Structure 1
Amino acid sequence: MNDLLRAIKATVFVGSSKKDLRAFPAAVRSEIGQSLFEAQLGEHPRNAKPLKGFGGVLEIRDNFDGDTYRAVYTTRFEGVLYVLHAFQKKSTSGIATPQRHIDLVRQRLSDAETIHKATKGDR
């Protein structure tokens, strides 16, 4: 059991990502939560795809009741999974992530790097 506990990456929610994720419908929270757990174990969730323009940043997509929900995370930093953003995609045209969300992910990735540097060695 200790080997399993050591293999599970710690999870840090950046900004409002935890609050935003909690606002999703229960079925979506469950699906995204399962995918994040798989990522914590070092696996690649089936519904996660690389987010274009970012190295080491993935986006989990889940469709529910005609809406699309997304959670963005990175495992770029050793031993920690950072959840950067969670949002409901409202755009009806195309599948591209709206620029305001990309900008927020970029800022929170920078925040995650700052957090990681500040807490490195504390684990």
Structure 2
Amino acid sequence: MSFLGTSLDDIREFPDDIKQDTGYQLHLVQNGQMPSDFKYMPTIGSGVVEIRLKDENGIYRVIYTAKFQDTVYVLHAFTKKTQKTSQADIELAKARLKLAQQKENHS
């Protein structure tokens, strides 16, 4: 598991119940399973998945890719403010996906 950019710090800012659920969902992914509630994100890249989490206070998203052989890359984590994922969040995840690809190409 590799957290790119501020993704781990962003998850740490989530409410405790959402942090715990995020950990469980990422554990599933590490073990070759799919998260409980997810959506593929082809606008970001092939093999990119968004974990969807919510509680009474808000909606949270964790974007990752597990398409590389040995590593799950967490690209971005954020609190969702509107129904649609913002272009800034999409662009940030795209940039971090490129970083993950570069890391894989140099390992």
Which stretch of structure 1 is more off in the superposition, 46-55 or 34-43? 46-55
Q: Percent identity?
A: 36
Q: Deviations over 1:49-97 (max 9, x none)?
A: 2114221000011111231000000012111100000000112xxx321
Larger Rg: 1
* Residue of structure 2 in register with 1:28 after alignment: 18
Can you give the 5+ residue segments of structure 2 that lack an aligned partner in the other structure? none
2:37 matches 1:47: yes
Distance 1:38 1:19 in 2: 20
Question: Equivalences for 1:64-103 in 2 at 5 Å?
Answer: 64-91=55-82, 95-103=83-91
Q: Deviations over 1:2-29 (max 9, x none)?
A: xxxxxxxxx0000000000111001001
User: 2:14 is aligned with what amino acid?
Assistant: F
In the comparison of the two structures, how many residue pairs are matched?
Answer: 106
TM-score by length of 1: 0.82
Distance 2:58 2:42 in 1: 21
Q: Deviations over 1:89-115 (max 9, x none)?
A: 112xxx321100000010000011112
TM-score by length of 2: 0.93
